[in-house]
Amino acid sequence: MVTKSMVLQKGAVLNIRLLIKADGVVIDGNGATLSGLGVAGKPESYQGVGIVSEGFSQVTLKNIKVKGFSVGLSATDGTDWRVEGCDFSDNFTNPLAGWGNGERQGGMILTRITKSKFYTNKANRVWNGIDLQYCNENEFFKNDSSHCSNLCFKMLGSSKNVVTENIFSYGIRIAPDEVHARDSACVLMESGSNSNRFTKNDMRYGGDGLFIRVLNGFVSTGNIFTENDCSYAHNNCVESWSPGNTFIRNKANHGSYGFWLGGSDQTVLMDNEAAFNGMPDENHNAPEPDFGHGGIVLVNGAASHTLIQGNYCHHNVGGGIVLRGDRESRGEKWRIYHCILQGNRLEYNQWGIFVMHGDWIHVANNKYHSNSHEDVYDNVTNHYKADEANYMGKLPRVVMRAPKTAKVGEPVVFDATDSFSPVSDPVYVRWDLGVASFMKSRVTYTFKKPGFYRASVLVHDSVLASLNFRDVLVTAPVTELTDADEDLEKWGYEIEQNNDGKAKVVFENDTTNALIGKNSIKFQPTPYLGANVTVSYPKAKDAHWNASDKTKLTFWIRAENPNPTGFQGAGPVIKLYGEKGSLTFTPAGDKHILKDWAYNEARTTWQRLEIPLSEADSKWKVQKEGNFSLADVRGFSFTFDSWESDPFTVWLDGIAFE
């Protein structure tokens, strides 16, 4: 037990563990080693934690080696730590493990650690090298957590960290001739890991180099990646399914794919290199129909509002740049939309640019050399091509004014009048609102139906272009079944497996996320027991609503679920209660509306749902029990179920019969 600062015997090998029990302690290992019982090749032999701290801050660790444990360092709930020159190598690892995240084991396992510094440490030959969960505003500089059997650097719900000049290479777990590397990666980010900065890190030779994963709908956005090397990945040098991230001057070479960005709206790629991907004598796993492999690839997931500029894509066995909307429906379900491809160098690829099932693709000022085939534009609408390869103009600037919300029947203004080009006059402006498009700077429009709309604008000088967008939520007036201003106490809940009664659902009036009226209802099961959670209103089931002249139940919903695989099963299950029966609505096709979204942006904003009250349709199954009557509805409930056991958060608004 450590309650004061200490210096260990120089170079000693100690069969002990350190349990930190005070703030402000300094532990100087002096080159000593804490040695556990783990034996290489026997994963079950790695037990315990070498250094443990729970709830303590201003701790300094330096010059100590910890090996042979399940975990080298476990630090929870602390701030202002400094860990420097330590070695957490040769703790738990399992290169033969199958698919799955596994337990949080390996080198440094950090939970809710903030404003701390981790410099020049090592964590090699472990499961996870550096594992962050809800850790914010930390610095990681010149650490080496390479050669991990799962992940060299992992982030879950961790934001505003600065990660610079670290070695995160060889994060890979794979059998001979295996196509996929079991989601092993050099760097994995997920579940709301936002606004981090990665600069000059080595992420080479991984299953993936960098993987921004969104299995649960909880995206990671606002991250900036500059001058990292993610090359030689077994699968994707960079794989992202999250919106709003920026990639500048990175390398994504010699993988199966360079940048794989399906599902990544609002992405910026500038001055990156994507080369030698899909080479037959190198990594060439999981080739796609139509084009094979590629340098920068946006496929198998919707992607909108993307800028691809100044990149050098060469020697790819497939397309230099590939955009493809939904292949099965030939773009009927979704298209790659509102993208700019300009100023790129495209050399020695099979195709310089390959686009299928796209809409509003601006292509300009690219330079081509020795590609095998002409560019492909198959089933592309609103395609603008102005290849002036020697044009030296500066980018136009979009100045946009647009609402975030609107009401049915009330005009709103979308204005880009102040947009300009530094070198050209005039500029050309196009607006698209999803239901109508306009070739002018200022648009006044009245929406006729409630729902989600993409308001997109592009400004160009006849060659170079810039874009912007606004997600617009359009509401219609309704008579809500709940009054969030007054009725919070009327909400009830039931939690499966809550045998001791300690779990509860916390309800809150949320004024910051409201569409109808002043508040939405926000709730979270705490703790979450990994089973069904049902919220109901009113809990006394004494409402007496008459919906006999109504045809549908409507509401707005959004959620955040940090559990890596998100909600499970068909859901949410919605039930209306009467005096002598009930009416239950379940999404058809085993879909969950908080995992199978109507549009990509529903991962980060509201979606509006309509459920028919009379009979099932293609989206909802309806089951009637007892003598239920719409003339006397006593209440309703929503039931949610998630994988794993972290608390999730759901918002509801505008619940009404229409």
In this structure, the number of other CB atoms found within 10 A of the CB of residue 320 comes to 34
DSSP string, 325-380: --TTTTTSS--EEEEEEES-EEESSSEEEEEEEEEEEEEES-EEES-SB--EEEEE
Say if CB 83 and CB 61 are below 8 A apart.
yes
Q: Is 177 exposed, middle or buried (0-12, 13-18, 19+ CB in 10 A)?
A: exposed
Which of 151-160, 180-189, 351-360 has the lowest average pLDDT?
A: 180-189
- Kindly list the domain boundaries of the chain, sorted by start residue: 6-336, 405-475, 488-657
> What is the pLDDT of the chain when averaged over all its residues?
96
Per-residue pLDDT, 313: 99
Can you tell me the mean pLDDT for 141-168? 99
pLDDT band at 97 (very low <50, low <70, confident <90, very high): very high
Q: What is the pLDDT of residues 619-655, one digit of tens each?
A: 999 999 999 999 999 999 999 999 999 999 999 999 9
Q: What is the pLDDT of residues 4-19, one digit of tens each?
A: 999 999 999 999 999 9
Say if residue 392's pLDDT is above 80: no
Can you tell me the mean pLDDT for 496-521? 94
Say if residue 388's pLDDT is above 80: no
Q: What is the pLDDT of residues 517-544, one digit of tens each?
A: 889 999 999 999 999 999 999 999 999 9
HSE toward the beta carbon, residue 187, CA cutoff 13 A = 28
Q: Helix, strand, or coil here: 490?
A: helix
DSSP string, 12-79: -EE---EEE-STT-EEE-TT-EEE-S-BTTBGGG--SEEEEEES--S-EEES-EEESSSEEEEEEEEE
Nearest residue to 145 via CA among 96, 73, 76, 97: 73
Name the token pair of 154.
């992992």
| d(C-alpha 154, C-alpha 130), whole Å | 6
Which of 151-155, 336-340, 460-464 has the lowest average pLDDT?
A: 460-464
Say if CB 356 and CB 380 are below 8 A apart.
yes
Nearest residue to 68 via CA among 40, 29, 96: 40
Q: What is the pLDDT of residues 24-83, one digit of tens each?
A: 999 999 999 999 999 999 999 999 999 999 999 999 999 999 999 999 999 999 999 999
Percentage of the chain lying above the pLDDT 90 cut:
94
Say if residue 486's pLDDT is above 70: no
Can you tell me the mean pLDDT for 381-388? 90
pLDDT band at 424 (very low <50, low <70, confident <90, very high): confident
CATH tag, 405-475:
2.60.40.10
Per-residue pLDDT, 615: 78
Say if CB 457 and CB 468 are below 8 A apart.
yes
Residue 210's alpha-carbon distances to 8, 189, 237, 304, in angstroms, are 38, 8, 6, 21
Say if residue 485's pLDDT is above 90: no
Name the token pair of 218.
């909880």
Say if residue 389's pLDDT is above 80: no
Residue-wise burial string across 5-17, b where 16 or more C-beta atoms lie within 10 A, e elsewhere:
eeebeeeeeeeee
**DSSP run (H or E) holding 176:** none
Nearest residue to 306 via CA among 434, 419, 432, 466: 466
Sign of CA dihedral 595, 600, 606, 610: negative
Cis peptide before 477 (omega within 30 of 0): no
Cα 303 to the center of its chain, rounded Å: 13
Residue-wise burial string across 498-521, b where 16 or more C-beta atoms lie within 10 A, e elsewhere:
beeeebebebeebeeebbbeebbb
Can you tell me the mean pLDDT for 478-485? 83
CATH tag, 6-336:
2.160.20.10
Sign of CA dihedral 350, 351, 352, 355: negative
Cα 302 to the center of its chain, rounded Å: 14
pLDDT band at 616 (very low <50, low <70, confident <90, very high): confident
Q: What is the pLDDT of residues 268-306, one digit of tens each?
A: 999 999 999 999 999 999 999 999 999 999 999 999 999
**DSSP run (H or E) holding 537:** strand 533-537
pLDDT band at 618 (very low <50, low <70, confident <90, very high): confident
How far is the first Cα of the chain from the last one, in angstroms, to the nearest whole number? 64
Q: How many residues does the chain have?
A: 658
Q: What is the pLDDT of residues 326-340, one digit of tens each?
A: 999 999 999 999 999
Nearest residue to 355 via CA among 409, 309, 299: 299
Per-residue pLDDT, 487: 79
Instruction: Tell me whether strands 197-199 and 451-460 are parallel, antiparallel or unpaired.
Output: unpaired
Can you tell me the mean pLDDT for 587-610? 95
CATH tag, 488-657:
2.60.120
